[in-house]
Structure 1
Amino acid sequence: MKETMKEVVITGPKQYEIREVPVPKPGDGEVLIQMKAAGVCGSDVHQFLGENPNAVFPRVPGHENAGVIVAVGKDVKNIKVGDHVVVDLVVACGECPQCKKGRRNVCRTVKARGSAIDGGWREYFAVPEHEVYLLPQDMPFKDAALIEPFAIGGHCTTRAGIQGGESVLVLGSGTIGAVILQTLKLKGCRVICADINDASLARAKEYGADAIVNTKTKSLKEAVQEFTDGAGVDVIFDSACYPGSLTAVLEMGIPANGATIVPMGFCTAQEGITQAMINTRELSIIGTRMSCNQFQPTIERFAKHEYQLDGMVSHYIPFSQVGQVFENIIHPPKDMKKMVIVFDEE
């Protein structure tokens, strides 16, 4: 194994460095991962652009991480050298009331890998054994890098109490919107997807959307009314997350009485919501953060090829050319959907 490695460090808004540092050694209970693929998430983009108010610099980004175990520390019991794994983005204490209730994603001291602590945009990194999940040996690493986003889809739809048969609006057809759509269709829902990008909407149609609407050319309310015969949708996922989007989806005629609304983002702009908008229809607004207990079922669904992965990623970037990731963030190519960093073979 090499003695040094390269890592990507965001040093400030729109600033990054490639550093040569020692390869870490796994501590007690830790495993050392050689990275093979890492997704580029919207949160990585916001962090680099300086749009994340909670960002702390310097920081190694990356929480959609897949790789192979190359060393294990003392007392590691269930993971061995050669295993293929993905890494949880949630770092939790395991002792607080939330953790003990099985809600480690809202641990009192929760840290998100790649944001609050260093992530996986580096050739090697060490993590506790309990924060990795085994992959089938034949699963491509470039696909495995998508497991974390799909785990979010599993979590947020669980938070919404999806049972199957609901009519659902997904606002925003980017990566997370496409993930939520696919998850909803697997659970037996009727789904209308809304966006302002025709290519994203066309992809949503390929992934099983029952209806699509470009809100540049048609009213969202009108489209929802047509889709539901005037009833409104049972559940709304706001994966567009722009200032005012939560207020927009609460417009009379979009949610049905008793509907559930799940905002996916962390926009800090104030919204124009009143108590009357919620209580006259007894709406439920449900928070969701990262994922919890969803990695294993998501891996199993990947192994069964239940999700459509073609078209999810538009750009695979070799780690040796990682600067292209930042160039694409600042000057997005017209056809860009999602980037995945593919680590170079030794």
Structure 2
Amino acid sequence: MADMMKEVVVTEPYHYEIREVPVPEPKDDEVLIKEMAAGVCGSDIHIYRGENPNSRYPLIPGHENVGIVVKVGKDCKKIKAGDHVVIDYVLRDGTCWQCRHGRGNVCEHVLVRGSGTDGGWREYWTAQESYVYKIDDQIPWKDAALIEPLTIGEHSTTRARVAEDDTVFIFGTGTIGTIICQACKLKGVKTIICCDISDSSLERAKRDFGADYTINSKTEDVVKRVQEITDGHGCTVAFDAAAFPGSLTFVMTPGIVCNAGRVIPLGFSTVPEKITQQMINGRELDIIGTRMSLNQWEPTAKNMAEGKYHMQGLATTFVKFEDIDQVFENIVHPDPAVKKTVILFPGAED
């Protein structure tokens, strides 16, 4: 193993450096990980653009991380050198009210790798063993990097209490929208309606990821189509995976969500929306927040190992770590064909 390594550092909005630094040594309760693949998330894009108020600079991005353990501290018991692992990015104190009541993903002092503290866009890094989970070593690295976003789908659908007899509306068919679609199908949902302004994204959602019906909100009357599909009842669950200013108000439109329905926003827009008490209480809607994931790493990795997710096409773009400049170029000059990017580190394609 080399003594030096490379890491990507965003020094300020729209500026980054590739630095060469010493390979770190794990503490007694830590493991040293050789990074093998990392997903590029929308939050990484916001950080580079200076749009994340919770981030600080300089910062190593990346919270969708998988790798091989190359060394373990003397106190580590469950993880050993050679293990393929996924790394939890939610750092928590374990003592606050939220942690004591099983809500560690929103810990009072939560700290997020790749946002509030350094992430995984580097060749080697250390993490406490308690945040590291072993995965099946037969999972290709290009797929393993998507375990984290898949946990978002599993967590958000769990928060939504999705059940077989639900009719689900998903607004936005990007990576998270299509992942939610898959998670709903795994939970046995019989009717899923996906809505977007992109025909190609909608076609992809129906062909590959489980959508039963699609609606183009740019060219179709969404309420009318939902009413037609649901025989006038509306949907019992609506996910706002579009997450732009006004999208939450839109999915709450009467005719889309039925009385006693559940609405799950997935974004972090800070722009106020015109939502009234009547809009919620008139139909007794549940507005259910969801952030990151909780207790989903091992079951999601198991589902992936068992082939329960459709992986082909979920990531559209693969960039070698040595060509990391292309990732930032795609952020500055976005290509509609780039839905999800995965960074592959040396050895990931072997």
Please indicate the TM-score interval, normalised by the length of the shorter structure.
over 0.9
1:93-108 paired onto structure 2 within 5 Å: 93-108=93-108
Shift of 1:345: 3.1
Q: Which residue identity does 1:27 align to in structure 2?
A: K
Alignment partner, residue 300 of structure 1: 302
Alignment partner, residue 50 of structure 2: 50
1:1-346 paired onto structure 2 within 5 Å: 1-189=1-189, 190-206=191-207, 207-345=209-347
CA distance in 1, matches of 2:104, 2:183: 22
Q: Which residue identity does 1:23 align to in structure 2?
A: V
Shift of 1:251: 1.2
Shift of 1:120: 0.4
Shift of 1:95: 1.4
CA distance in 2, matches of 1:24, 1:263: 39
CA distance in 1, matches of 2:139, 2:54: 34
CA distance in 2, matches of 1:217, 1:185: 27
CA distance in 1, matches of 2:55, 2:40: 16
CA distance in 2, matches of 1:158, 1:334: 30
Equivalent position SS for 1:218: coil
CA distance in 2, matches of 1:146, 1:345: 18
Gaps spanning 5+ residues in structure 1: where? Answer: none
CA distance in 2, matches of 1:340, 1:21: 23
Q: Which residue identity does 1:255 align to in structure 2?
A: V
Give the superposed CA RMSD: 1.0
CA distance in 1, matches of 2:181, 2:336: 23
CA distance in 2, matches of 1:55, 1:26: 25
Shift of 1:147: 0.3
CA distance in 1, matches of 2:9, 2:33: 18
Shift of 1:54: 1.6
State which drifts further: 267-276 or 212-221: 212-221
Q: Verify the 8 A CA contact 2:138 2:305 in the aligned structure 1.
A: no
CA distance in 2, matches of 1:259, 1:126: 43
Gaps spanning 5+ residues in structure 2: where? Answer: none
Aligned length: 346
CA distance in 2, matches of 1:132, 1:222: 47
Q: Which residue identity does 1:233 align to in structure 2?
A: C
CA distance in 1, matches of 2:205, 2:106: 31
Q: Which residue identity does 2:261 align to in structure 1?
A: A
Equivalent position SS for 1:310: coil
Q: Verify the 8 A CA contact 2:10 2:16 in the aligned structure 1.
A: yes
CA distance in 2, matches of 1:90, 1:192: 31
Equivalent position SS for 2:46: helix
Equivalent position SS for 1:262: strand
CA distance in 2, matches of 1:329, 1:225: 38
State which drifts further: 241-250 or 93-102: 93-102
Shift of 1:333: 2.1
TM-score, L = length of structure 1: 0.98
Q: Deviations over 1:288-318 (max 9, x none)?
A: 0000000111011001100100011111000
Q: Which 4+ stretches in 1 moved above 4 angstroms?
A: none
